[in-house]
Amino acid sequence: MAETDETEQLESKKKRKKPAVKRRKKESSVEEKSPAQRQSKMTSFLPGWNDPNRDLFLTLRPLFMSPMNAMLTLNNMCGVPLIQARIDDKLIKMKGLTKLMTKCFFPGYRYGGTDSPTVAAARAAKEGQAFLPPDIRASALARKRKFKGTALGNEVDNQLRLYANNPEAFSKLGRRINKITDYLITGYQKWGFKVAISQFPIAAPDVRIGTRIDMLAVGPEGEAVLIENKTGFATYLYHPCGRMKPPLQDYNDCPLHQHWLQATLENMILLRYWKADCGPNCYAIIANPNGVQRSQVPVWMYERRGDIWKRFREFMIAENGRPPKSRKRKKPSGGGDDEEREKLASP
């Protein structure tokens, strides 16, 4: 019995032993992707971008096939989309277009009631004006209204992105489709716009500017169309706060002119870097609970687009040359309780 137990144990040990497998060492150097691989990864989400038989993409094919697409990468930083450009094998963060456009062309514009009493008092003191404290409840309601407007805009942008880039996922939304989104889609169909892609990333790497085009489409006559979707602005679309900076000093800074200017700058980035031009076919489509309206970039702004880009480029070169602001808190400059404590502590 003892011999049989020993033989069973030996057989079980032999079964447990596995043949030695030679494992390859992981290579420390990672192979870098070629520009063609990066471009295919960048444009892989474009539906039908490489199908020459589709009439919808024949007009925008040069835009999708541009080597600039291989330079850009999209990341999410705390839920906020971040555009980075590869320059000299380094990923460099691009700055947002909207805020810097505001700073360059209409820095005096501000939405009524959105400033806190502290900020409003500081601005009044800087401008040498008397400051009257606003109603706290009114300013709080204005900030709440602004937050709701931003959330609504993000929701509509996400649904339109699915509508253009992933129709199957959009069809599953059902009743969750926002009323504003429905207005915009109805407007596209009414005006004969065939939607190609939404949230298309573009950038000007040399001046570190990046943004995403709300919608690229093909018009009824086969022309390329650039669309900026805007939600809200029902009560103050034509209300200015002053004049814009040169070369637009003859026109006010109402929100509608701001939308036109944003579409013009995006079209200039496409012309300068992507070698694709939408021409005068740039639109700002404004939707609110009252309905939807289409507004094309006027001739006076289209004719000045070269001067507009020149001024904005010079502004960005000067802006990038400034040293970054330090976020460290400044120490109190003398006086106070610290000196009294030092005197008491000294013998």
202-257: per-residue pLDDT in tens?
999 999 999 999 999 999 988 899 999 999 888 888 988 889 999 999 999 999 99
Q: Does 42 score more than 70 pLDDT?
A: no
Which pLDDT value is given to residue 180?
93
Phi, psi at residue 318, to the nearest 5°? Answer: -70, -35
* 308 touches 257 (CB < 8 A): no
Classify 37 as helix, strand or coil: helix
Stretch (H or E) spanning 287: strand 282-288
**Strands 209-218 and 95-96: what pairing?**
parallel
Q: How far apart are the first and last CA of the chain?
A: 94
The domain segmentation of the chain, as residue ranges, is: 39-122+132-321
Please state which of the ranges 73-82, 260-269, 337-346 shows the lowest mean pLDDT: 337-346
Please state the pTM of the whole predicted model. 0.72
For the chain, how long is the longest CA-to-CA vector?
109
For residues 65 and 143, the model is more confident at 65
Per-residue pLDDT tens digits for 282-325 = 999 999 888 899 999 999 999 999 999 999 999 999 998 876 55
Instruction: Provide Rg for the chain, Cα atoms.
Output: 29
Under 8 Å CB-to-CB from 279, ≥6 apart: which residues? 223, 224
Average pLDDT over residues 43-69: 61
Q: 141: pLDDT confidence band, cut at 50, 70 and 90? A: very low
| Mean pLDDT score across all residues of the chain | 76
The topology (CATH level 3) of 39-122+132-321 is Lambda Exonuclease; Chain A (3.90.320)
Which pLDDT value is given to residue 109?
84
Residue whose pair of structure tokens reads 């610290």 in the numeric block: 338
Classify 172 as helix, strand or coil: coil
Q: Does 153 score more than 90 pLDDT?
A: no
Classify 208 as helix, strand or coil: coil
Q: What is the Cα 197 distance to its own chain's centre? A: 15
Please state which of the ranges 12-16, 64-68, 170-174, 283-287 shows the lowest mean pLDDT: 12-16
Under 8 Å CB-to-CB from 75, ≥6 apart: which residues? 81, 82, 84
Average pLDDT over residues 27-46: 46
Which pLDDT value is given to residue 137?
43
Which pLDDT value is given to residue 111?
66
Residue whose pair of structure tokens reads 């970054």 in the numeric block: 324
Of 184, 175, 282, 173, which Cα lies nearest the Cα of 231?
Answer: 184
Please state which of the ranges 134-138, 321-325, 334-338 shows the lowest mean pLDDT: 134-138
Which pLDDT value is given to residue 49?
42
Which pLDDT value is given to residue 267?
96
Q: Does 128 score more than 70 pLDDT?
A: no
Average pLDDT over residues 153-175: 91
Whole-number Å distance between alpha carbons of 124 and 131: 6
Classify 313 as helix, strand or coil: helix
